[in-house]
Structures are given as structure tokens and as C-alpha cells.
Amino acid sequence: MGLALQQARAAMQQGEVPVGAVVVCDGQVVAVGHNCPVGGHDPSAHAEMQALRAAAQALGNYRLPDCELYVTLEPCVMCAGAIMHARIKRVVYGAADPKTGACGSVVDLFAEPRLNHHAVVVGGVMRDACVGILQTFFSERRAAAKARRLSPAAGAADEAAGESSVPPSESSN
């Protein structure tokens, strides 16, 4: 999870919502990924998707049944679907996401008996650090938005920073 947090920091340095992911197979890191939908012009570019794609390429197989996914934020519906398609055996996440979490916060797809794959899911690992980096990102962004409101001419060009599909997890605090 420490490595996933490093990936989250890399996302933040690029102005993306700080979420990072790591795929581990037999105790070895096979892939990492960080959230980059804004810069990548790609709504599917969540950290988990990036890490799953890289892991599948690295292992030469779209099925990853011996792999575990570590991610700093509870996976959304899209990522939970990809995790199931990849047959990931275990998912470990840090912060819960009360707005889009698909591991129990909004829905629990991994507990849905009609879906045919059930990864083991563990939440709350290094939760404070995972929540903290999101809170830092959103408080800095709010401060920047406030500064722009106070000085509209100065900040117009910064609007391109845009909104992310991943909301803050502050209510999980």
C-alpha cells in the first residue's frame, strides 16, 4: 500500500485526483498505476484500470487469478467489473468512497451472488494516509478555486484542471 500511495502522489503532481494502485503476483510487484483521466482524456483511466492493463501486458494474460490488487481508494463499479473480468483473487483498499465505492459503500458487487467471480476484499488498510492525501488534494483545490474567485482574471486559464470522476472521500472520515 505504501507503493500505491507513491503512485497516488504521482497522480497529484499531475493535477489528478490522487489514487494509486499496485498489482502483486506471488509477492512480486508486476504493475503499478495512477489515476489520470483528465490528462489522458480517458474516463476509464482510473488507477486500478491502469495497473490491471499493465499487469496483463506484463504477464501476457488478461486473466490474473494469482494476483492481488492494492489501491488507495475503494474501487468504483467500472474498476470492480474489470477486477472481476481479470479474476483478481484479492483486493486491498485504503479509503472508503461513500460516493462511488462498489465494495460496500454504495453497492457491494463482490457480495452479489449472481456475479460469477468473488475476489476477497479487505478495506481500511493504511486508511488514514489514503484519506489524508485525498483531503490535501481537495483542500488545495478549493483554496485555488477561492483564490480564482477573488481574482477572476488571474485564474481563468486554470479552469482546464477540470473535475474528476472520483469524488473526495471526506465523509468517510
Q: Is 46 annotated as a binding residue?
A: yes
* Least spacing, CB of residue 76 vs Zn ion, in Å: 3
Whose Cβ is closer to Zn ion: residue 24's or residue 35's? 35
Residues 29-48 interacting with Zn ion (rule: CB under 5 A): 46
Per-residue burial over 74-95, b if 16 or more Cβ lie within 10 Å, else e, is bbbebbbebbbebbbbebbbbb
* 48 assigned to active site: yes
**Residue 118 in contact with residue 80, Cβ under 8 Å?**
no
Q: Which of 48, 68, 74, 170 is catalytic?
A: 48
Whose Cβ is closer to Zn ion: residue 54's or residue 145's? 54
Closest to 75 measured CA to CA, from 103, 116, 112, 36: 103
Q: Is 76 annotated as a binding residue?
A: yes
How many positions of this chain bind Zn ion (CB under 5 A)?
A: 4
The window from 26-34, 75-83, 91-99, 103-111 that contacts Zn ion (CB under 5 A) reads: 75-83
**Phi, psi torsion values for 16, nearest 5 degrees:** -95, 155
**Residue 2 in contact with residue 126, Cβ under 8 Å?**
yes
- For Zn ion, the binding residue among 31, 73, 76, 133 (CB under 5 A) is 76
Q: Residue ranges for the binding site?
A: 46, 76, 79
**Catalytic amino acids?**
48
